[in-house]
Amino acid sequence: MALKTFKPYTKSTRGTILVSRKDLWKGKPFKNLTKPNNSSKGRNNYGRITSRNHGGGHKHKYRQIDFHRKKIASIAEVERIEYDPNRSCHIMLVKFEDGERFYYLAPKDIKIGDQIQNGSNSEIKIGNCLPLKDIPVGVDIHNVEINPGGGGKIARSAGTSVSISGIDGNYSIIKMTSGEVRKINSNSLATIGVLSNPDQKNIKIGKAGRSRWLGRRPHTRGVVKNPVDHPHGGGEGKSAGGRHPVSPTGQSAKGLKTRDNKRTDKFIIRRKKKKRA
């Protein structure tokens, strides 16, 4: 997919960069695989805001993606590649030999008419889904299950992939995009290839209105609020906060470790790389 730029007729078009969708399906999604997607607008079941700056946005339906890839011993053909407003990568509609259709995440370089297959006997090619034990070391994979049968959880956003760097008994050693290296059961399924739409990271929204279309509301910095509204608030004139940066609830916003899952610590071989300050 190519990037689109615009002539600077207005201030917003001067800075706008979008991804071209000219090669994607132009019609509506497959109706049998969609359902309503009602926005909570950041509210919980009591109607209280628990996630700030959420709300509005364009109305859209949810496409039911099959992350489990359980239909095996049958070949499917890629009918079309579609835009999905619920995720950053594109999706593909596939039709199996018995007429059943599914939505799958679309890998990069897959084309309409290509054939894909799920299961241990599948060929090592883009779009096929196999257990980790049947995939060679060094191959790029996505939609990786953490537990066998649990559905793909790892590497599902645009342009992402992970790779197998080795085998340790019944476990495969997976290198994540973040730099973390961890062990995953070798019976877990993964799909071959890098996910589509890698140019998603180069998008420049260009104007506030496009953020509102995406359901993002204006964000107010803590330092311009009153002390009652934010820990950074108050002070005389234009102050910089004068304390360690924290969230509105007082949790440190600079490098505080929030992971608390001792049960899975044994599967992590190397932690992710630290960000430069």
In a domain, 78, yes or no: yes
Q: How far is residue 82 from each of residues 27, 93, 167, 174, 177, measured CA to CA in Å?
A: 9, 8, 36, 29, 25
pLDDT band of 1, cuts 50, 70, 90: low
Q: How far is residue 262 from each of residues 117, 173, 175, 241, 255, measured CA to CA in Å?
A: 37, 19, 20, 35, 19
* Choice between 160 and 277, residue whose per-residue pLDDT is larger: 160
In a domain, 261, yes or no: no
In a domain, 210, yes or no: no
Decide: residue 60, CB within 10 A, 0-12 exposed, 13-18 middle, 19+ buried.
middle
DSSP per-residue codes, 127-181: T-EEEGGGSPTT-EEESEESSTTS-EEES-STT--EEEEEEETTEEEEE-TTS-E
> How many independent structural domains does the chain possess?
1
* Choice between 39 and 78, residue whose per-residue pLDDT is larger: 78
Q: Is the pLDDT of residue 241 over 70?
A: no
In a domain, 110, yes or no: yes
pLDDT band of 243, cuts 50, 70, 90: confident
In a domain, 245, yes or no: no
In a domain, 170, yes or no: yes
Category of 89 on φ-ψ map: left (φ > 0), alpha (ψ -120 to 50) or beta:
beta
In a domain, 276, yes or no: no
- Residue 190 CA, chain-centre distance (Å), reads 16
pLDDT band of 175, cuts 50, 70, 90: very high
Q: Is the pLDDT of residue 190 over 90?
A: yes
What is the value of pTM for the model shown?
0.91
Distance CA 199, CA 2 (A): 8
DSSP per-residue codes, 174-234: EE-TTS-EEEEETTSEEEESPBS-GGGGG-B--SHHHHHHTTBPP---GGGS-TTT-TT--
pLDDT band of 273, cuts 50, 70, 90: confident
| β-pair partners for 189 | 131
Here the CATH number for the domain that contains residue 137 is 2.40.50.140
pLDDT for the residue 238: 87
Maximum pairwise Cα distance, the chain = 71
In a domain, 22, yes or no: yes
Question: Mean pLDDT over residues 104-117, rounded?
Answer: 96
Query: Which single residue is written with the structure tokens 């608030």?
Result: 233
For 138-173, how does the pLDDT look when each residue is reduced to its tens digit (9 = 90+)?
Answer: 999 999 999 999 999 999 999 999 999 999 989 999
Say how many C-beta atoms besides its own lie within 10 A of residue 219's C-beta.
8
- When the pLDDT of each residue in the chain is averaged and rounded to a whole number, the result is 93
> Which residues constitute the domain of residue 69?
18-200
